[in-house]
Structure 1
Amino acid sequence: MAINRVFIDSRVNDKELLISQFTSGTEYQVLDANRDGIEQIVTALSGQSGYDSIQIISHGAPGSITIGSIELNISKLDFYAAQLSLIGNALHENGDLLLYGCSVGAGDQGQHFIEALSQMTGADIAASDDMTGGVPAGGDWELESFIGSIEAAVALDLFAQTSYSGILSSFTFEVEPNDRRIDATALPLLEDPAGGGLLLGRGMGNQDPALNQN
């Protein structure tokens, strides 16, 4: 049985649905959006080894993925070199690091990012080059960009893949009058009490337990 370790960002919309449908043999942790996500992952993996895959479910953009309070991109890989090596050491020899976030592996920027990340971790890496997430919203769970031989599959059963309606994208929008740009992934999605769908909110609520096993 495959052993997967999933780290899911606390800002992922309807993460409870995804968590409830993780495949057998999956361990998971919800990453605190207010803390360095790489440090959280390293702490969680301390003393662990032999995982078939480590999977990160968060928000992405070409060459970038949000992990807790940081945006990991190629410019920050050297800073996290020691931590990334430790993350790679938690995988078995042929283990995979899978990045689930929109367009993380898209274009030259995305390809350079996953190539560099593979060198830092010593792992096979896969990431998406298009919309990642719910099929009803136009996304999918395929990771089209990869380095090495990818043997692991997404740690979600078919029901979650086809019924989840969220999309794992990072995006910015303008705020008048100062033309500031805000990272929308820093704000959780809240249900509109008037029935209008989802709103961007500022309250983070309570964090999920640090470590769970399905």
Structure 2
Amino acid sequence: MNAELLAWQIGRNIRFYRNRFGLTQKEVCSRMKCDRRFYQRIEVGKARTTVATLNRIADILSVPVHDLMSVNKLVLDDEASLLLFDWNHVDTENTAIWYRNQQFEILKVNNSFSDLIGVTSEKIVGQKLFQFLSAENRDLSNILADCESKGLTNFYFSYFKEKDHSFPLQIHPIPCFKINGEYLGSLSFAVPIRSNPKIQQLLIPFIQHLFHYSPILMASK
């Protein structure tokens, strides 16, 4: 991950948590005993931050410092830029990608997702995710969605329907939030178990492209 992207990511992470805990920039600067202009540059990704500075900010925001530097969550200005981004121009090695809102309505998929379940994207978008899950997995998905809305996420497995049979997928969901902390939905990456994917290696390049082509910036729990 390049330095510019990392600086933007850290800045957006900090802003996300500051807003979540109801702190102003002035309050954070007062606790840090730093110049406000310097702090503002941190939040917009224009300042180099030392480990000591990040540790101090993490203490003030009551979050682990490593959470300020991860990509387990997306913080969006709005959903529009995510939906306008052409996912099929990014090499994801046939990884299925979809975005659903908090009502489980699928708003966007890539070609690999359509190919995987044998349904065109036109027939998928606007439908509930549950329509494509095996019945035994629907309760689990509700539980996982509740975890995602709290910023808790990890790999999990679920069964999707394809005509007269179902198949397991390894799924990596990324909860999506507005900068004010409002939960929007989930961006998910998935592959059939038989493909034995290296999802983490695929995830970072995709998000780097997402960052480059849209105003979306990343943040972590």
Please confirm whether the aligned pair reaches a TM-score higher than 0.5, indicating the same fold.
Answer: no
- Greater share of residues in helix: 2
Which structure is larger by alpha-carbon Rg, 1 or 2? 2
- Greater share of residues in strand: 1
| Larger RCO, structure (CA 8 Å, separation 6 or more) | 2
TM-score (norm 2): 0.29
